[in-house]
Amino acid sequence: MSIKVSALFPLPSKDTVDTLESYGKILGKAVPMRTKHLEELHYSIRDLSRMLTGDRADLTKDYMGDPRSLSAYLRYFLPWNLYRLTRLFSGLDIKLPDNGIVVDLGAGPLTVAQALWIARPELRKKKLTFINVDRTPKPMKEGQKIFSEMAGDCPWKLVNVKGGASSKLREKADLLVSANMVNETIMNMRTPMSTWAEKFCLQLGRMLAKNGRLLLVEPGVRHCGRAISVLRNEFLQNGWSPLAPCPHSCECPMPGEHGTPWCHFNFDTRHAPKWLQELSARCRLEKDNVSLSFLYMSQPHEKLPVKNEEGITVRAVSESFRIDAGGFGQYGCSEKGLILLQAKGDARTLFPGGLITMPAPEGENRDSKSGALIIDLPTRGASPSGGRKTPASGKDTKNVQRKDTPHEHKKKTSPKHQGKHKSSGDNSDDEGWTTSRREAMKGGRRDSRGRGGKKKG
Q: Closer CB to ligand SAM, residue 162 or residue 369?
A: 162
- Sign of the alpha-carbon torsion through 67, 80, 436, 313: positive
The least CB distance from residue 227 to ligand SAM, in Å, is 13
CB-count exposure of residue 122 (10 Å: 0-12, 13-18, 19+): exposed
Task: In whole angstroms, give the CA distance from residue 267 to residue 274.
Answer: 17
150 near ligand SAM, rule: CB under 6 A: no
The least CB distance from residue 118 to ligand SAM, in Å, is 13
E strands in 335-432: 337-343, 355-358, 373-376
Residue type, 159: V
**DSSP character at residue 199:** H
69 near ligand SAM, rule: CB under 6 A: no
Q: Closer CB to ligand SAM, residue 105 or residue 375?
A: 105
Maximum CA extent, the chain: 67
- Residue of the chain from 44, 71, 81, 86 that contacts ligand SAM (CB under 6 A): 81
**Are 232 and 261 contacting, i.e. CB atoms less than 8 angstroms apart?**
no
139 near ligand SAM, rule: CB under 6 A: yes
- For the window 210-249, what string marks contact with ligand SAM as x by the rule CB under 6 A? ----------------------------------------
Q: Which SS3 state, helix, strand or coil, does residue 353 take?
A: coil
Q: Closer CB to ligand SAM, residue 91 or residue 327?
A: 91
Contact window for ligand SAM (CB under 6 A) among 27-35, 177-185, 288-296, 311-319: 177-185
- Residue of the chain from 2, 129, 148, 185 that contacts ligand SAM (CB under 6 A): 185
71 near ligand SAM, rule: CB under 6 A: no
Helical (H) or strand (E) element with 332 = strand 328-334
**Are 137 and 64 contacting, i.e. CB atoms less than 8 angstroms apart?**
no
The footprint of ligand SAM on this chain (CB under 6 A) covers a number of residues equal to 17
393 near ligand SAM, rule: CB under 6 A: no
What CA dihedral angle connects 404, 408, 411 and 416, to 10 degrees?
A: -40
Among residues 26, 34, 66, 31, the alpha carbon closest in space to that of 48 is found at 66
Please spell the DSSP secondary structure of 259-319, one letter per residue. Answer: T--B--EEEESTTS-HHHHHHHHHTT--EEEEEEEEEEEE-TT--PPPP---SEEEEEEEE
7 near ligand SAM, rule: CB under 6 A: no
- Residue of the chain from 87, 103, 120, 134 that contacts ligand SAM (CB under 6 A): 134
The least CB distance from residue 163 to ligand SAM, in Å, is 7
Pairing of strands 287-298, 455-456: parallel
135 near ligand SAM, rule: CB under 6 A: yes
- Residue of the chain from 180, 266, 298, 370 that contacts ligand SAM (CB under 6 A): 180
- For the window 36-65, what string marks contact with ligand SAM as x by the rule CB under 6 A? ----------------------------x-
160 near ligand SAM, rule: CB under 6 A: no
Sequence-distant (≥ 6) Cβ neighbours of residue 35 within 8 angstroms: none
- Residue of the chain from 107, 128, 161, 276 that contacts ligand SAM (CB under 6 A): 107
108 near ligand SAM, rule: CB under 6 A: yes
Task: In whole angstroms, give the CA distance from residue 75 to residue 48.
Answer: 12
Task: In whole angstroms, give the CA distance from residue 411 to residue 74.
Answer: 40
Q: Closer CB to ligand SAM, residue 136 or residue 342?
A: 136
**Residues paired with residue 321 on neighbouring β-strands, in sequence order:** 329
290 near ligand SAM, rule: CB under 6 A: no
Contact window for ligand SAM (CB under 6 A) among 133-141, 192-200, 278-286, 361-369: 133-141
Q: Closer CB to ligand SAM, residue 108 or residue 256?
A: 108
Residue nearest to ligand SAM (CB): 108
Binding footprint of ligand SAM on the chain (CB under 6 A): 64, 78, 81, 106-108, 111, 134-136, 139, 164, 179-181, 184-185
